[in-house]
Amino acid sequence: MRIDPSRGLRAPLAVAAIGLALWPSVFSSAYDLRLFTLAGVYVLLVLGYQFIFGHVGALSLTQGAFFGLGAYASAILAVRGGWSFSETFVLSIAIAVALAALIAIPVLGLESHYFALATLGIAQVLLLVCREWAPLTGGVNGISGVPGIVLFGRAVPGGSPSLILVWSLVVIGAAVAWRIQRGLYGLAFHVVRSAPAAAGTIGLDSGRMRLAAFLLSAAYAGAAGALFVRVNGIVSPDVLEFPVMVTCLAMTVIGGATRVAGAFAGAFLLVYLPEWFRPLDKYYLIAYGAGLLVMIVAAPDGLLGAAARLRQRLMPETDVAPEPERLPRPEVPVTAPLIFRDVVKSFGGVKALQGVSFEVRRGEIVGLIGPNGSGKTTLINIATGLETCDGGAVLYGNQVLTGRAPFAIARLGIARTFQNICLAGELSALDNVAVARSLDPGVDIETARAQAMHLLETLGAANFAMSQVRALPHGVQRRIELARALAVQPQFVLLDEPAAGLSEREQADLAGQIKTLRTRGLAVLLIEHNMPFLAGLADRLICLHEGRVIGQGSPDEVRRNPRVIAAYLGEPQRVPA
Amino acid sequence: MRAVIFCAALAALGMATPLAAAEVSIPVLVPITGFLSLEGTSQRNGAMLAIRNAPAGLNVRADVADTGTAPDVAVNALERALGRDAPTAIVASMLGTQVLAMLPIALEHKVPLLTVSGTASVTEKGNPYVFRFFPGDAITKVAHVRYAAEILKAKRLALIAQTTEYGQSGRAAIEAIAAKLGLEIVYEESVDVQLRDLSPVLGKVRAAKPDVLLLHLHAGPTALAIRQAAAMNLDIPIVAGSALHQPTTAALLEPAELRGVCAETNASPVSGGSPEMERFLQQYREQFKSEPDGYALGQYDGVMMALQAAAQGAATPAALTAALSSGTYRGLAMTYKSDGKGNMAHSAIIVCYDGRSRVPTVAKRYDDIDGVLAR
Amino acid sequence: MLQVLANGLALAAAYALVALGFVLVANAANAVNFAQGDLVMAGGFVAVALSRLWPVPGIVLLPAVLAVMAVLGLALSAIAYFPLRGRPATAIFVSTIAVGLMLENGANAIFGAEPQAGPPLLPGAAIALGPVSLSRQSIAVIVTAAVLILALEFLFARLRFGWRLRATAQDREMAASIGIDVTWMIAFSFALGAALGGAAGLLLANSFFVTPTDGINYMLKAYIAVVIGGWGSIRGAVAGALLIALFEVVYPSLPLLVPALPVSWLFTETTATIILYGVVLAVLLLRPRGLFGEAVLRRA
C-alpha cells in the first residue's frame, strides 16, 4: 500500500514535530521541562527497542536491563571515578552493547517465548546482582548524588539547557534509526520478521540482522540510561525492575513498533498520561490503565499505524509505481550442474528420503513429481539449506551445499519459491521483490524498486506492484514469489507447486515465463502435481515415492512407467486434470 | 486538645503572640500506590489530620500526589508541586531512595521536607532542608537491639531483614549496634518482599540457636514470619521491626500467635496512654475508618510542628526551616528537636503482645538516644 | 523434614494452577495474558470479601470464588481480547497489561494497601502424621489443587467439550471448519483460566496473605513455569511450577535436610533465585523448546 512508512503522513508529522518543538516554550515550568526531558530519554529507549521488538519481532525482555545497566555504569563511573559526562555516556553505551554481545551468543538463536524467558532471566539476575553487590552498586539504596551534565567543562543546568541537550541526542538517535530503516535494510527487517523462512532464500543473513538489531537496541538503551541517571541524580535498583520493561514495551506498542514517529508518540503519551490523571488521587492509575486499554483497542498497531490508516481513508492516495529498469546482465552463467547425491533424511522415525540421487543441468526444466509425503519439498528444503540432511550431499558443481546457511546458498545463485506462500504481507508487492535485490552492493532502494518493477512487469503483475501483498489473490502472490526469486539473479530456480491454484490462463502464462528462463540459460526444478501443465513444459520428470526415485526420463517415459503409475498416477484415465 | 497542643507549642517555641491569618501550602507527596502504599497512606492521613486541626487563623492548602515507588516519579511529583503550589513545606515520601532523590531539589528551592523515613542516609547528606519526624534506624535499632540484650538477656542474635532499602538500612544499623554492644549475630539473611514461604529461613534460624530473633521486614512478611514461627513452634523470642506495630499487621495474626512477640516503633497510637492520644485516635478513626500507626502519628506531629511554627509567623519556607531547625516541640509521640542534621525524633519504644489481644502494651521506652552508631 | 516438602508441594500446586490458567488462554486464544498474576490477586481478594460476608471455611467458598472469577475472566476477554482478535499479538500484551494495572489499583482503592488474610481452607491447625505434624492448610492446598488439576485433565481427556477446547487450541481454522464455535471456546478458556488463577489466589491468601501488588510476582512465576515446561504444554506447566517451588522452598532448606551442608550464603533465598534463573537458562540452551516440547505445533 505504502512504499515509505511515513509517506502520506509527512504533513501531519511535520505539524506534530513543530508542535513538539514549541511545547517546552509554552509549558515551561521546571516540572514541564523535566517531564519533557524524561520523555526524550524514553524516546531513545523505545527507538532502540523498536529494532529488536518491532523490526526483528523478538520479544526481548532485557531492554529495561540495558537501560538500568547504562544508568548504573554512568552513576558508578561518575560518583566513584569522577568521570565526565561525555566519557560516562560513551561507556554506558559500550557496556550495554558488550552485555548484549555476550548474551547474544547463547540466547539470540532461541525462538519466541524461549527467547523472551531467557532475556527475562538475564534481566532478573542483573537486578539481583545490583542489589547484592553493595560495595559497587550501593545495594538497594543505589547511588545518589550523581552530578548533572557537564559538557566542555561547563555545567549544563537542569531545565531548558539539559532539555536541549537530551533532545539533541534524541534527534540524532531518531535520524540514525530512520536512516537505517528507510533503505533496503529496513525492508529486509520486514522479511526477517514476517517471512523468516524466505529471508535466507533471498540471501539475507537473518542471524546477523538479529544480532545487529539486538546490539543497536542495547546501544540506545545504554544511552537512555546514561541520560536518565543524570536527569534524576540517583540510580536505584528500581530501574532494573520489571515495571520499567513493561513501560517500555507498552510505549513501543502504543506508539507503533516499527515507526520512528511511533517512539515519540508512545514515550510522550505514557510519560504524560499518569501526570494528567494525577488529580484523581488513588484512582489515577486505574484511569491510566483504562486509558492504555482504550488506546490499544482503538489503535492495535500503534497510534502511528492508526494515523496512517486514517489518512488513507480520508485522502486515499495511490502510490505511483516507479519506471521499470532492466536488471544488469549477470556475469557469464555458471555451467555447473546441481547434483543430489544419495540424500537421506528422516524425521523422528519416518524416513522421508532414502538415498535420492539425480542432477539438474543448465538450460533444463526438471519436474519433480510424486504423491504427498514422498519427500519432494524436503528435498528442496535441503538444497536451499532450510533443512539439513542426515546422509549424502547436495552439490553445486564441486561445491558442497549441505551444511551451508540458506543465505549462503542463495548467494551462490540458487533461489526458490514456497508451496505455502511466504511473503511479507504488510509490504507492497514491489517491496517484496525489491528487497531481494539487496545482495547487489551497488543497488540502492530506488534502483531496487525500479528493477523490481521490471520483474513484475515481465511476469504480468505490474498492476499489483503498489498493493499490499496480504490483500492480493493467490495467483498474483505466486507470481510475486517468482519475481522475488528472479530478483536474486539465480542460476537455479527451485519452484514448489508454482501452478497450484492458478487458472488455466495463468498456468499458460506461467509456463511461458518458465520457458523464457530456460532460454536465458537458467535451470528450473519444479514440484508439481499438475501433469498436463508439466507435460508441455518439463524436459525431464523425476518421480519420488517414499523417499526414493522410482522413475525418471522424458514426460512420456515417466507417464508410462508402471511403478510411477502404481505409486502415483494410477490408471491412465485417472490422470489428474 | 487543640488548646493543649497549642499551648505546649507556644511554650516550646518561646513565642508569645499569634500573628494574623497566614497562607501556607503543604503538598503531601507520598506513595499511595505500589508496595509502600500502606505506609504512604498512613503518612497522608496523619498529615491531613494535622492540617484539619491546624491552628486557628492559618489557611492551609494541601494537595496529595502519589510518588509510586520509583525515585523519578517522586521527583516528578516534587517538581510539579514546586511549580504550582509555592509550597511552604513538603510532606515527603517515607521511601528512602525517593527522599534522596528529592533532597537536591529541596536544597535548590530551599523548601523543607517533612518525612518519616527511617533510612539512615537521608539525614547524612548535610542537607539542611530535611526533617525526619520518625526515629531513624540509628535510633529505633538501638532500642531494638538493646531490648533484646538488656531485657531479654540475649547474647546471640539472629536477624531476618528485607532486601528493600528499608530492610538493608535497618540491617546495617543492627549489625553496627550489635557489634558495639558485643553481641554475636549467629544467623542473618535478607529476603525478598515477595517470598512466600519463610520456613526455610526460620529453620536455619532455629539451627543457629540464637537467644533472640530480630525481624526487620515490611508488614506482610513480618506477619508471615511470626505466623510461620508459631506454626513450627520456633520458641525463640522475637523482636520485630516497626511494621508489626501497625494495627493492620497485627490483624493478620491470631492473638495467640503474637504471644510474647515485641516490636520497636516510635509510638503505638492504638495503645493509647494519654488523653491527647485518645483524642487523636478517635479523630483518626472517624476520619479515615481505620486504625492509626506510628507513621501516621509521626507525620501528624511533624506537620503539626510546622503548622504551629507557621502560625507563629514562620509562614515562609525559610522562616519555617529556621524554626524547625531550632525549635522544640512536644508532640503526641514524643518531644521533637533537631540534632542539627534534621533528625527530630530521638525516642523509640518497645511494645509487646500478651497473647490475648492485638493491641500491644508499651514495654520499654528509650529516650534521648544519640543515634551515633560508630564505636 | 516432611513439612518442608509439604510446604514446597503446596506452593508448587498453587503455582501450577496459575500457570495452567495461563496456558489455557495461551493455547485457545494464542494470546499472552499478562493479567494472569493480577487475576490471582483478585481471587485472593474475592475470597477475603466473601469470607467477610459469610465466615465459612475456604473450601466452601471455593465454588463461589471460581464462579466470580470466571465472570471476571469473561469480562477480561470481552474488553481486552475480543476487540483485538486478529490484530497483532503484541496489542494483547498491552491490553492485558492495562487490565492488570486496573485490577491492581482497583484492589488498592477498594480493599486498601494492607495485606489481608484469606479464609483457611479447613478449620483447625495441624494434623499429626506419625512423629511429624503437618500443617492442615498445606495438605488441604495440595489436595484441592490436585483435584482441580485432575478435573481439568478429565475435561480434556474425556469430555466432548474438552475435546473441542483442545481442537480449538490446536488449530482454530480447522476447529471452525468442523463446526466448533471458536469464539465461545476462547471465551470459555478465559473464564476457566481466570477461575484457576482465582482458585490459586484463594489457596494462597490464607497462608501467605494477599496485597494488591502481588500480581507481578505470580505473573513472572507463571510465565517461567509455562515457558520452561514447553509453551502450551499442560504437563510442562505443572513441571515448571514444581521446579520454581523447589528452588523457593526446598533448595534454601538443604542445609537443614542434609546436615553435612554448611549454612552459608550458598543457600540463601537470593542465591536460590539466581540459581533458578541459571537453571532456566541452561534448560533453554539444552532444550530450546522447553522440557516437554511444544504441545501446539507451529505450522511452517
> Which ranges in chain B belong to alpha helices (H)?
2-13, 37-52, 71-85, 96-109, 137-146, 165-180, 199-208, 219-231, 247-250, 275-288, 294-311, 317-326
Sequence-ordered list of residues with C-beta below 8 angstroms from that of C6, at least 6 positions apart, any chain: C134, C135, C138, C139, C142
Q: Say what the ipTM of the complex is.
A: 0.85
Same domain, B82 and B148: no
- The pLDDT value given to residue C134: 60
Signed CA dihedral, B227, B233, B234, B238: sign only? positive
- The pLDDT value given to residue A571: 60
Same domain, B67 and B30: yes
C-alpha dihedral, A131 to A135 to A136 to A139, nearest 10°: 20
Asked if the Cβ–Cβ distance from C284 to A114 is below 8 Å, we say: yes
- The pLDDT value given to residue C298: 40
Mutation test of the interface with chain B: which of A38, A124, A141, choosing the one with the most B Cβ atoms within 10 A? Answer: A141
Which residue among A110, A249, A282 places its CB closest to the CB of C93?
A: A249
> Which chain C residue lies closest to B230 (C-alpha atoms)?
C125
Asked if the Cβ–Cβ distance from B204 to C117 is below 8 Å, we say: no
Sequence-ordered list of residues with C-beta below 8 angstroms from that of B134, at least 6 positions apart, any chain: B94, B115, B116, B117, B118, B266, B294, B295, B298, B345
Range of the domain at B75: 3-135+272-344
Mutation test of the interface with chain C: which of B44, B162, B194, choosing the one with the most C Cβ atoms within 10 A? Answer: B194
> Would you place residue B30 in the very low, low, confident or very high pLDDT band (cuts 50, 70, 90)?
very high
- The pLDDT value given to residue B14: 44
Neighbours of chain A (3+ CB pairs under 8 A): B, C
Q: Give mean pLDDT, residues B279-304.
A: 91
Per-residue pLDDT at C191 exceeds 90: yes
Place of cell 525492575: A241
> Chain centroid to CA A295: how far?
26
Contacts of B77 in chain A (CB under 8 A): 278
Q: How far apart are CA B228 and CA B213, in angstroms?
A: 13
Per-residue pLDDT at B173 exceeds 50: yes
CATH code of the domain covering residue B196: 3.40.50.2300
Measured CA angle at A293 (ends A289, A294), to 5 deg: 120
- C263 or A531, which is more confident: A531
User: Element (H or E) spanning B64, and its range?
Assistant: strand B64-66
pLDDT in tens, C4-41: 788 888 888 889 989 999 988 888 888 888 899 999 99
- The pLDDT value given to residue B17: 46
> Which chain A residue lies closest to C34 (C-alpha atoms)?
A246
User: Element (H or E) spanning A495, and its range?
Assistant: strand A492-496
Q: Are A251 and A267 in contact (CB under 8 A)?
A: yes
Per-residue pLDDT at C1 exceeds 80: no
- The pLDDT value given to residue C292: 75
Backbone φ/ψ region at A355: left (φ over 0), alpha (ψ -120 to 50), beta: left
- The pLDDT value given to residue C299: 34
Residue B85 forms part of a structural domain:
yes
Domain ranges of chain C: 2-212
Helix axes B71-85, B96-109, angle to 10 degrees: 30
Which residue among A140, A236, A278 places its CB closest to the CB of B71?
A: A236
Asked if the Cβ–Cβ distance from B191 to C269 is below 8 Å, we say: yes
Which residue among A113, A118, A300 places its CB closest to the CB of C281?
A: A118
Which residue among B82, B100, B103 places its CB closest to the CB of A30?
A: B82
Considering only residues 208 to 247 of chain A, which have any Cβ-Cβ distance to chain B shorter than 8 Å? 228, 231-234, 236, 238-239, 243
Asked if the Cβ–Cβ distance from A234 to B66 is below 8 Å, we say: no
State the smallest CA–CA distance between residue B131 and chain C in angstroms: 26
In 3D space, the residue among C199, C218, C222, C214 whose CA is nearest the CA of residue C43 turns out to be C199
Q: What is the Rg, in whole angstroms, of the alpha carbon atoms belonging to chain B?
A: 20
> What is the DSSP code (8-state) at residue A9?
-
Asked if the Cβ–Cβ distance from B248 to C269 is below 8 Å, we say: no
Same domain, B14 and B115: yes
- The pLDDT value given to residue A344: 86
Asked if the Cβ–Cβ distance from A117 to C300 is below 8 Å, we say: no
Helix axes B96-109, B165-180, angle to 10 degrees: 100
Same domain, B96 and B21: yes
Exposure b/e, A357-370, CB count within 10 A at least 16 = b: ebebebebbbbbbb
Low-confidence residues in chain A, pLDDT < 70: 1-9, 153-156, 158, 316-318, 330-334, 571-577
Same domain, B245 and B277: no
In 3D space, the residue among B167, B171, B161 whose CA is nearest the CA of residue B95 turns out to be B167
Residue B373 forms part of a structural domain:
no
State the smallest CA–CA distance between residue C248 and chain B in angstroms: 8
Same domain, B93 and B165: no
Mutation test of the interface with chain B: which of A144, A242, A247, A275, choosing the one with the most B Cβ atoms within 10 A? Answer: A144
- A186 or B371, which is more confident: A186
- The pLDDT value given to residue A572: 54
- Structural domains in chain B (count): 2
State the smallest CA–CA distance between residue B249 and chain A in angstroms: 22
Neighbours of chain B (3+ CB pairs under 8 A): A, C
- B295 or A135, which is more confident: B295
Contacts of B125 in chain A (CB under 8 A): 144-145
Which residue among A114, A242, A253 places its CB closest to the CB of C91?
A: A253
3-class state of residue A251 by DSSP: helix
> Which chain B residue lies closest to A134 (C-alpha atoms)?
B168
Sequence-ordered list of residues with C-beta below 8 angstroms from that of A435, at least 6 positions apart, any chain: A184, A187, A188, A190, A191, A202, A204, A424, A427, A448, A484
State the smallest CA–CA distance between residue A377 and chain C in angstroms: 12
Contacts of C227 in chain A (CB under 8 A): 113-114, 116-117
In percent, the amount of chain C with pLDDT more than 70 equals 92
Per-residue pLDDT at C132 exceeds 60: no
Asked if the Cβ–Cβ distance from A106 to C223 is below 8 Å, we say: no
Asked if the Cβ–Cβ distance from A285 to B167 is below 8 Å, we say: no
Place of cell 504423491: A371
Contacts of B187 in chain C (CB under 8 A): 263
pTM of the model: 0.84
Same domain, B362 and B309: no
Asked if the Cβ–Cβ distance from B35 to C256 is below 8 Å, we say: no
Same domain, B362 and B229: yes
Which residues of chain A have a Cβ shorter than 8 Å from any chain C Cβ? 53, 106-107, 109-114, 116-118, 120-122, 124-125, 128, 131-132, 197, 242-243, 246, 249-250, 253-254, 257, 282-283, 285-286, 288-290, 292-293, 296-297, 300-301, 420
Contacts of C258 in chain B (CB under 8 A): none
User: Quick check: A157 contacting B, CB < 8 Å?
Assistant: no
Residue B375 forms part of a structural domain:
no
Contacts of C255 in chain B (CB under 8 A): 204, 207
> What is the DSSP code (8-state) at residue A110?
S
Sequence-ordered list of residues with C-beta below 8 angstroms from that of A526, at least 6 positions apart, any chain: A365, A366, A367, A368, A494, A495, A496, A498, A514, A534, A538
Same domain, B249 and B150: yes
Same domain, B54 and B86: yes
- The pLDDT value given to residue C207: 82
Same domain, B209 and B306: no
- The pLDDT value given to residue B20: 54
Q: Are A465 and A429 in contact (CB under 8 A)?
A: yes
Asked if the Cβ–Cβ distance from C11 to B196 is below 8 Å, we say: yes
In percent, the amount of chain C with pLDDT more than 90 equals 17
Asked if the Cβ–Cβ distance from C94 to A112 is below 8 Å, we say: no
> Chain centroid to CA A570: how far?
44
Mutation test of the interface with chain A: which of B93, B165, B189, B290, choosing the one with the most A Cβ atoms within 10 A? Answer: B165
Asked if the Cβ–Cβ distance from A232 to B80 is below 8 Å, we say: no
- C1 or B28, which is more confident: B28
In percent, the amount of chain B with pLDDT more than 90 equals 26
- Average pLDDT along chain C: 83
> Which ranges in A183-283 belong to alpha helices (H)?
184-194, 196-201, 206-232, 242-255, 260-277
Contacts of C79 in chain A (CB under 8 A): 293, 297
- The pLDDT value given to residue A97: 94
Q: How far apart are CA A86 and CA B59, in angstroms?
A: 49
Which residue among A53, A114, A285 places its CB closest to the CB of C105?
A: A285
- The pLDDT value given to residue B114: 92
- The pLDDT value given to residue A577: 42
> Which chain B residue lies closest to C245 (C-alpha atoms)?
B197
Q: Are A112 and A196 in contact (CB under 8 A)?
A: no
Output phi, psi for A523, to 5 deg.
-105, 140
Same domain, B160 and B220: yes
Which residues of chain C have a Cβ shorter than 8 Å from any chain B Cβ? 1, 3-4, 7-8, 11, 105, 108, 112-117, 125-126, 135, 204, 207-209, 211-214, 217, 248-250, 252-253, 255-256, 263, 267-270, 273
- The pLDDT value given to residue B3: 47
